[in-house]
Amino acid sequence: MKKVGFFQSIRLKFIIVIILLLLFPIQVIGAYFAQQLETQLLQNFKESIVDNVELLNYQLEQAFAKERSEEDPSLQKEVQSILSDFDAESISELRVINNKSRVIGTTNQLNQSDVGKRTIDYRVNRTLVLGQSDEEVLLNKNTGDRTLVMTVPIYQSNGNGDQENVAGVIYLEASLEGVYGQLQEINRIFANGTFLGVSISVLLGIVIARTITKPITEMRKQAKLMGDGDFSQKVNVYGRDEIGQLALSFNELNDKLKVAQATTESERRKLSSVLSNMTEGVIATDQTGSIILMNEPAARLIGKRIDDVEGEPLLDVLNIHDRLDDINEIQDTGSIIIDFSEEDQQLLLKASFSMVQFESEEMNGFITVLSDVTEQEKIERERREFVANVSHELRTPLTTMRSYLEALTDGAWEDKEIAPRFLGVTQTETERMIRLVNDLLQLSKMDNKDYKMYKEQVDFTNLFQHTIERFEFNKTEKIEFVRHLPEEEVWVWIDKDKMTQVLDNIISNAIKYSPEGGTITFTVDVMKQQQKLVVKISDEGVGIPDEKLNKIFERFYRVDKARSRNLGGTGLGLAISREMIEAHGGNIWAESKEGEGTTVLFTLPLMSQSRGDEE
């Protein structure tokens, strides 16, 4: 089961839901609060401006309505005096304009030069014409500051106290940065409070989500353990709510699955133990003949995995369609021998079939038991061949002896020329049978492990040299011996008599099959790194075909049977040599080309310096 990351877990989803449920109303309330607060602050600011302007307006109305004598100050001086006495921190500049659009007073010392000049401000002119107050918020694009600009009409009263006309206009500018700065500070405090609230909500959300998801997480882990076959643990129950009831149900399910798993596992182990401990292969099929089960020995025998053959017809897998047309014929077959041999390996399987039935005796499927009978068949074949070869080898000299003995019995013994020759043939055949029986007895001892080796430290070069000289001294054929032997001593741990017999067998064969005038080459290569020596005995005979080269070390095998018998061979010499070489820990083989001769090679391990007296 794949592990669930935090960003994919239900815990994170709980936390996100809680945060969203908190942020959404906070944002709505904050937006509404900020809007209403901005409106209220601007309204309060304007009301304070209006209250101050009303007092100023009253003073200016009195100044405009006053009848002046020569001794009284002029209107301009009186207006400037009123403006100088006026104190309003929120107002940055005040101007008083008469009904002729001329500036008659200002609070900005930098703009004193504008006094007496006409103004072209459209707000002032509109107020003069309409007699109505006007206000506008201006934004400085360079600094981003906001300024409230207001124009308030100054009415001139008649003697009855009625407002007749507009005598002038009060023009003022008031910075709103204080209002917006206060609003920004309040928003900052609100944002900090929101962040603090969200942080606390996140912590509470983690705790709440953990409380809710902890039982679910434990059930998920337990489900994974149950999937792996572990039913030993249970889920903790933290309450009696729906999750708690789910945990109780989960534990009950765990107990039931544990019992069912134990029962199934017990049956499976019994079946698995039986199938695993069987040396034979077992294949089970359903009633249609499709494979549903196969043990490991069966997979090895047929060379296919259970995944590859599951659901396949048994007749196709065993390739026995030529013997059985339908799966139902199996119950009448009993057992058959199936040939699974390949080019380089022989494999014979015995398939025994049996039918599986329900209690109602209705057929449920088939069980096929496969046994490797390759060795049994091979041994049986070799036994038959051995008996046939021995019979044949004995029959030939016995037949010859009987014929000559019958001739002698019929009177040939009286012939002084024929009788000695017949007796000589009889003696030769007798000696041939004795050699054959002795070779068979020697092979029989080696096969039965009743064969002792008397090994000793031997200089192989010296042994090989003496053996060659013995043959060279006794040979009658015109064959040349060529030697490539090491000059130094080569020590091996061998049975001297048995190794002499091996050399005699191989050299005898080389002499028998060498043509007159041919050459036999004797070579010994010492491989010190591999701790072995390689002996080669080569002739220039007719050679051996490639397909027969590996068979010359088998018992009674002859490449040219007629010539071998004429030369007196039994066909067991190389077989005995192979057994003896392998008993010494070496290997023997042959290399040959037709028409060019044959080379017999064998290896022997070199004697180490630390070897004892006996191996």
Mean pLDDT across the chain:
77
Q: Looking at residue 534, what is its pLDDT?
A: 92
pLDDT in tens, 495-518: 888 888 888 888 888 888 888 888
pLDDT in tens, 563-591: 444 444 556 778 878 888 888 889 999 89
* Side-chain-facing half-sphere of 422: CA atoms under 13 Å: 19
The CATH number assigned to the domain holding 483 equals 3.30.565.10
- State whether residue 316 is helix, strand or coil: helix
In terms of domains, do 44 and 104 share one? Answer: yes
User: Of 573, 562, 582, 578, nearest to 440 (Cα)?
Assistant: 573
Q: Looking at residue 535, what is its pLDDT?
A: 92
Indicate the pLDDT class of residue 145, thresholds 50, 70 and 90.
confident
In terms of domains, do 261 and 112 share one? Answer: no
- Specify if 586 maps to a domain: yes
Of 239-243, 262-266, 287-291, 350-354, minimum mean pLDDT range? 239-243
In terms of domains, do 282 and 269 share one? Answer: no
Q: Looking at residue 565, what is its pLDDT?
A: 46
Indicate the pLDDT class of residue 557, thresholds 50, 70 and 90.
low
pLDDT at 482 over 80: yes
User: How far apart are the C-alpha atoms of 535 and 464, rounded to whole Å?
Assistant: 10
User: How far apart are the C-alpha atoms of 135 and 124, rounded to whole Å?
Assistant: 10
Could you say which of 372, 401, 420 is where a domain stops?
Answer: 372
**Amino acid, single-letter form, for residue 53:** V
Q: Looking at residue 386, what is its pLDDT?
A: 63
- State whether residue 52 is helix, strand or coil: helix
> For the range 552-558, what are the long-range contacts, defined as Cβ-Cβ under 8 Å and sequence gap of 24 or more?
552/590, 553/577, 553/578, 553/588, 553/590, 555/386, 555/389, 555/443, 556/385, 556/386, 556/389, 556/390, 556/393
Q: Looking at residue 609, what is its pLDDT?
A: 52
Could you say which of 183, 201, 222 is where a domain stops?
Answer: 183
In terms of domains, do 590 and 539 share one? Answer: yes
In terms of domains, do 340 and 473 share one? Answer: no
Question: DSSP string covering 78-91, please?
Answer: HHHHHHHH---TTE
Average pLDDT for residues 517-522, to the nearest whole number?
Answer: 87
In terms of domains, do 273 and 285 share one? Answer: no
Specify the number of domains making up the chain.
5
Question: DSSP string covering 493-549, please?
Answer: EEEHHHHHHHHHHHHHHHHHHSPTT-EEEEEEEEETTTTEEEEEEE--SS---HHHH
In terms of domains, do 321 and 388 share one? Answer: no
- Specify if 569 maps to a domain: yes
In terms of domains, do 45 and 120 share one? Answer: yes
Q: Could you list the residue range(s) of the whole structural domain that residue 431 is in? A: 377-447
Q: Looking at residue 469, what is its pLDDT?
A: 86
Torsion of CA 43, 47, 48, 53, to 10 degrees: 140
- Specify if 201 maps to a domain: no
In terms of domains, do 290 and 390 share one? Answer: no
Most confident range (mean pLDDT) of 127-136, 297-306, 371-380, 408-417 is 127-136
**Token pair listed for 324:** 């059985």
Q: Looking at residue 596, what is its pLDDT?
A: 84
User: How far apart are the C-alpha atoms of 495 and 442, rounded to whole Å?
Assistant: 15
Confidence (pTM): 0.40
**Token pair listed for 51:** 């209250």
User: How far apart are the C-alpha atoms of 455 and 443, rounded to whole Å?
Assistant: 19
- Specify if 217 maps to a domain: no
pLDDT at 391 over 60: yes
Proportion of the chain above pLDDT 70, given as a percent? 82
- Specify if 216 maps to a domain: no
User: Of 428, 521, 511, nearest to 476 (Cα)?
Assistant: 511
Q: Between 93 and 485, where is the model more confident?
A: 485
Average pLDDT for residues 428-434, to the nearest whole number?
Answer: 71
pLDDT at 562 over 60: no
Q: Looking at residue 564, what is its pLDDT?
A: 46
pLDDT at 382 over 80: no
The CATH number assigned to the domain holding 292 equals 3.30.450.20
Q: Looking at residue 601, what is its pLDDT?
A: 92
- Specify if 611 maps to a domain: no
Could you say which of 217, 251, 277 is where a domain stops?
Answer: 277
User: Of 589, 576, 606, nearest to 499 (Cα)?
Assistant: 576
User: How far apart are the C-alpha atoms of 212 and 9, rounded to whole Å?
Assistant: 12
Strand partners, 103: 97
In terms of domains, do 47 and 147 share one? Answer: yes
In terms of domains, do 390 and 324 share one? Answer: no
Ramachandran quadrant class, 341 (left: phi over 0; alpha: psi -120 to 50; beta: rest): beta
What is the biggest distance separating any 2 CA atoms in the chain, rounded to whole angstroms?
205
Indicate the pLDDT class of residue 40, thresholds 50, 70 and 90.
confident
| E-assigned strand segments in 14-68 | none
In terms of domains, do 17 and 161 share one? Answer: yes
